[in-house]
């Protein structure tokens, strides 16, 4: 599989289709999930053309660090950091990945169960 330049998140990053953007830096974009699985459900994406964690290269370490720090800052801005939140990165078929542009789910606003189904 190769990276799809016309994929949904590539289009959102290029601002070709709308999204409710909550955070943006040079390397990272975050927007509300269109089909939320929790009261707060934000997707945090690197602007890199990377399909999944399995597609990462060593040179992406800096941007991936920025992604995690973005999650920290967004959780604080949305006021969910103290009660808590879950970060999820689905990778390939068994994890249920549907969109093949690497993304972190930030889920919050309700109690979550463990382990995930
Ligand atoms: P995953 O299963 O980890 O690949 O998650 C993909 C997520 O993208 C799902 O939670 C979808 O609801 C979400 N999604 C798909 N299309 C859009 C869109 N246009 N805007 C925002 N979120 C989307």
61 CA → ligand 1 middle, Å: 24
Q: How confident is the model at residue 81 (pLDDT cuts 50, 70, 90)?
A: very high
19 CA → ligand 1 middle, Å: 11
Domain architecture of the chain: domains with CATH: 8-108 (3.30.428.10)
What distances in angstroms separate CA 30 from CA 102, 114, 116, one per listed residue?
12, 25, 23
Given a cut of 90, whether residue 71 has pLDDT beyond it is yes
Ligand 1 pocket member 34 (CB < 6 A) = yes
Cβ-contact 67, 53 below 8 angstroms: no
pLDDT of residue 117: 82
CA distance 98 to 91: 9
Q: Which residue has the tokens 């660090």?
A: 65
**Under DSSP, is residue 42 helix (H, G, I), strand (E, B) or coil?**
strand
- Whether the model pTM is above 0.95: yes
Mean predicted confidence (pLDDT) in 47-60? 98
pLDDT in tens, 3-37: 999 999 999 999 999 999 999 999 999 999 999 99
């Amino acid at each position: 599989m190769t990276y799809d330049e016309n994929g949904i998140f590539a289009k959102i990053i290029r601002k070709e289709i709308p999204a409710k953007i909550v955070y943006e830096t040079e390397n990272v974009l975050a927007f509300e999930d269109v089909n939320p699985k929790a009261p707060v459900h934000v997707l945090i994406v690197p602007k890199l053309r990377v399909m999944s964690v399995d597609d990462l290269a060593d040179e992406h370490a800096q941007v991936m660090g920025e992604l995690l720090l973005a999650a920290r800052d967004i959780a604080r801005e949305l006021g969910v950091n103290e009660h808590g939140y879950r970060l999820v990165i689905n990778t390939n078929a068994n994890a249920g990945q549907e969109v093949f542009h690497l993304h972190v789910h930030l889920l919050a606003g309700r109690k979550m169960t463990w382990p995930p189904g």
